[in-house]
Amino acid sequence: MSIHRQLNISGVSIKRQGIFEVTGMAFSEIEDRRVKPEKYGEKKKQKQFMMTDTASRMLNQIARERGITRSEAIEQLVREEIARREKLPA
């Protein structure tokens, strides 16, 4: 059984299986940058917060450079900061 999540944006159809169609043409191998739940031992849950446009652009840049989603960039940055703090002398 295959479940397809589909999103239509300006004539672009994106399906969960990594295939999308643009005006009748199909392209495969869409990069799925989502992290699997096993990575952290728990599933991610949706959160909502606000940030400035500048911080949002910085987050976009970090995510692009690392080849990950914005959500995963936030996860990594928080975990990196905690790890850094734990290494500092008290």
How many Å apart are CA 69 and CA 62, to the nearest integer? Answer: 9
pLDDT the model gives residue 35: 60
pLDDT the model gives residue 84: 93
The model's pTM? 0.58
pLDDT category of residue 24 using cuts at 50, 70 and 90: low
Apex 20 CA angle, 19 and 25, nearest 5: 115
Which sequence spans correspond to the domains of the chain? 1-32, 37-90
pLDDT the model gives residue 2: 45
Quick one: the chain helix, strand, coil %, rounded to 5? 40, 20, 45
- Residue by residue, DSSP assigns 17-78 as TTEEEETTEEEE-----PPPGGGTTS----------HHHHHHHHHHHHHHTS-HHHHHHHHH
pLDDT the model gives residue 78: 96
Average pLDDT over residues 52-81: 96
Average pLDDT across the chain, whole number: 75
